[in-house]
Amino acid sequence: MRNNLSIRSSLVTKEQKGSVEYQIYYLTNRIIILTQHLQLHRRDYSSQRGLWKIVGKRKRLLVYLSKRDILRYNDLISQLGIRGLKTR
């Protein structure tokens, strides 16, 4: 079941383990897994807190990437299938 939830690892190569793209990819996989867990265990509040922390960290990384290189940011959110950041 876990393989069906995870995003394809072909999006990011092994040489990029420390890159912002890999970190966002890894956090997105963890968000998907935790979301599936919370659908089964609705009252697991410590997992909910962990999920919110992961979502916040991914958001900060997305903000950083959007400010540094908007083309890489747009390519990444289209590959991962996540929403972009809200603009004011």
CATH number of the domain bearing residue 32: 1.10.287.10
pTM over 0.75: yes
Note down the domain range covering 53. 2-6+17-80
| Residue 73 counted as domain residue | yes
| Residue 24 counted as domain residue | yes
What is the per-residue pLDDT for 14? Answer: 64
| CA 25 – CA 61 distance, rounded (Å) | 11
Domain total for the chain? 1
Q: What is the dihedral of CA 70, 24, 51, 78, to 10 degrees?
A: 60
Q: What is the dihedral of CA 6, 69, 57, 13, to 10 degrees?
A: 30
86 backbone φψ class: left, alpha, beta (φ>0; ψ -120 to 50): beta
| Residue 54 counted as domain residue | yes
| Residue 35 counted as domain residue | yes
What is the per-residue pLDDT for 88? Answer: 72
In what helix (H) or strand (E) does residue 82 lie, and over which residues does it extend?
A: none
| Residue 87 counted as domain residue | no
What is the per-residue pLDDT for 39? Answer: 97
Q: What is the pLDDT along the chain (88 residues), one digit of tens a residue?
A: 454 445 555 666 666 789 999 999 999 999 999 999 999 999 999 999 999 999 999 999 999 999 999 999 999 999 999 999 998 7
